[in-house]
Structure 1
Amino acid sequence: MPNPPRPRAAALAIAVALLSASLAGCGGSEDSVDLPSQPLSWKDCPAPAESEGGGDAPSPLPGGAEWQCATMKAPLDWDDPKGSTIGIALIRAKASGNKDRRIGSLIFNFGGPGGSGVTSLPAFGADYARLRARYDLVSFDPRGVGRSAGVECEDDEQLDEYFQQDSTPDDTAERTKLVDNIKSFNRACEKRSGKTLPHLRTTDAARDMDLMRQVLGDDRLHYFGISYGTELGGVYAHLFPKKVGRAVFDGVVDPTQGPEQSSLGQAEGFQLALDNYAKDCTSKAGDCPVGDSPQEVKEKIAKLLDELDEKPIPGIFPRDLTQTAATNGIAQSLYSQDFWEYLTEGLQQAYDGDGKILMLLSDSMNGRNEDGKYSNIQAANVSINCADDNSRYTAKDVEAKLPEFRAASSLFGDYLAWGMLGCTGWAVDGAADHPDVGATGSAPILVVGNTGDPATPFEGARKMAGALGDGVGVELTYKGQGHGAYDSGNACVHSAVDGYLLDGTVPKEGTVCS
Structure 2
Amino acid sequence: MSGARRIGPLAAGLAALTMVLLAGCTLGPSQRPALATYGPGPAATVTTTAPASGTVGPGGPGQRADPIRWQGCADVADTDPTTGQQFDVDCATVVTEGSAVGSAGRRSIEVARARAAGVADDAPVLVVLDGSPGQHGRSDVAAVAAGLSPAVRQHFAVVTVDLAGSGDADPIDCISRTDLGALATLGADPTQPEGAKALAEVTRSITFECTDQGGPDLPLVNTTEAADDLDHLRAALGTDRLTVLGRGAGATLGTVYADRYPGRVQAAVLDAPANPMDAADARAAAVGVAAEKALDAFAAACPTFSGGCPLGADPRGTVEKTVAQLDAAATPGTGRVTGGSVLLSLLLGLGDPAVWPGLAGDIAKAGQGDTTALASRLSTALGLSDSRSWVTPALIYACNDTAVRLGPDQLATAVQDVRAQAPLFGPYALGLLGVCGSWPAPENALGAVKANGAPPILVLGAVDDPVAPYESVRALAGQLASAVLVSWQSGTHGSYPASACAAGAVDGYLLQGQLPAVGTLCPP
TM-score w.r.t. length of structure 2: 0.81
Question: SS of the residue aligned with 1:87?
Answer: strand
Contact 1:7 1:124 in 2 (8 A): no
| Cross-structure match for 2:308 | 287
Identity %: 27
Contact 1:255 1:467 in 2 (8 A): no
One-letter amino acid of the counterpart of residue 382, structure 1: L
Contact 1:237 1:442 in 2 (8 A): yes
Question: SS of the residue aligned with 1:150?
Answer: coil
**Matches of 2:161 and 2:273 in 1, distance apart?**
20
Cα separation, partners in 2 of 1:285 and 1:320, compared to 1, 3 Å: closer
Cα separation, partners in 2 of 1:140 and 1:45, compared to 1, 3 Å: farther
**Matches of 1:154 and 1:167 in 2, distance apart?**
21
Contact 1:251 1:484 in 2 (8 A): yes
Contact 1:9 1:338 in 2 (8 A): no
Contact 1:475 1:509 in 2 (8 A): yes
**Matches of 2:200 and 2:307 in 1, distance apart?**
46
| Cross-structure match for 1:320 | 336
Cα separation, partners in 2 of 1:260 and 1:104, compared to 1, 3 Å: same
For residues 303-337 of structure 1, what are the alpha-carbon distances to aligned partners after superposition, in whole Å with 9 as ceiling and x for unaligned? 00000011149xxxx95322222221121121311
Contact 1:391 1:430 in 2 (8 A): no
| Cross-structure match for 2:436 | 423
Pairing 1:460–2:482 present: no
| Cross-structure match for 1:496 | 505
| Cross-structure match for 1:408 | 421
With CA pairs under 8 Å and 6+ residues apart, which has the higher RCO, 1 or 2?
2
Contact 1:96 1:132 in 2 (8 A): no
Cα separation, partners in 2 of 1:177 and 1:281, compared to 1, 3 Å: closer
| Cross-structure match for 1:28 | none
Contact 1:329 1:359 in 2 (8 A): no
One-letter amino acid of the counterpart of residue 131, structure 2: G
**Matches of 1:135 and 1:288 in 2, distance apart?**
44
**Matches of 2:307 and 2:99 in 1, distance apart?**
59
Contact 1:167 1:419 in 2 (8 A): no
Displacement of 1:110 after TM fit?
1.1
Question: SS of the residue aligned with 2:472?
Answer: helix
One-letter amino acid of the counterpart of residue 461, structure 1: V
Cα separation, partners in 2 of 1:122 and 1:260, compared to 1, 3 Å: same
Pairing 1:303–2:303 present: no
One-letter amino acid of the counterpart of residue 394, structure 1: G
Question: SS of the residue aligned with 2:324?
Answer: helix
Contact 2:79 2:86 in 1 (8 A): no
| Cross-structure match for 1:36 | 65
130, 133, 153: which one aligns with 1:110: 130
Pairing 1:394–2:412 present: no
For residues 87-120 of structure 1, what are the alpha-carbon distances to aligned partners after superposition, in whole Å with 9 as ceiling and x for unaligned? 21111112655659x7611001112244242244
Cα separation, partners in 2 of 1:366 and 1:167, compared to 1, 3 Å: farther
| Cross-structure match for 1:510 | 519
347, 365, 371: which one aligns with 1:355: 371
Matches within 5 A, 1:162-173: 162-166=183-187, 168-172=189-193
Question: SS of the residue aligned with 1:247?
Answer: strand
Unpaired runs of at least 5, structure 2: 19-62
| Cross-structure match for 1:214 | 235
Displacement of 1:232 after TM fit?
0.9
Pairing 1:481–2:491 present: yes
Cα separation, partners in 2 of 1:174 and 1:411, compared to 1, 3 Å: closer
One-letter amino acid of the counterpart of residue 290, structure 2: G
For residues 120-178 of structure 1, what are the alpha-carbon distances to aligned partners after superposition, in whole Å with 9 as ceiling and x for unaligned? 44334222143122211001011121111212213224433453343623544642442
Residue-pair matches, total: 467
Displacement of 1:68 after TM fit?
2.0
Cα separation, partners in 2 of 1:256 and 1:12, compared to 1, 3 Å: closer
One-letter amino acid of the counterpart of residue 455, structure 2: A
Unpaired runs of at least 5, structure 1: 1-5, 20-33, 48-55
TM-score w.r.t. length of structure 1: 0.83
Pairing 1:245–2:254 present: no
Displacement of 1:63 after TM fit?
5.8
For residues 211-246 of structure 1, what are the alpha-carbon distances to aligned partners after superposition, in whole Å with 9 as ceiling and x for unaligned? 101111222110001011121111111111111112
Displacement of 1:278 after TM fit?
1.2
Displacement of 1:8 after TM fit?
5.9
Pairing 1:342–2:358 present: yes
Contact 1:496 1:507 in 2 (8 A): yes
For residues 51-82 of structure 1, what are the alpha-carbon distances to aligned partners after superposition, in whole Å with 9 as ceiling and x for unaligned? xxxxx77548866323222211113518x9xx
Contact 2:67 2:238 in 1 (8 A): no
CA-based RMSD of the aligned residues comes to 3.0
Instruction: Name the structure where helix makes up a greater proportion of residues.
Output: 1
Question: SS of the residue aligned with 2:511?
Answer: helix
Question: SS of the residue aligned with 2:233?
Answer: helix
Displacement of 1:510 after TM fit?
1.1
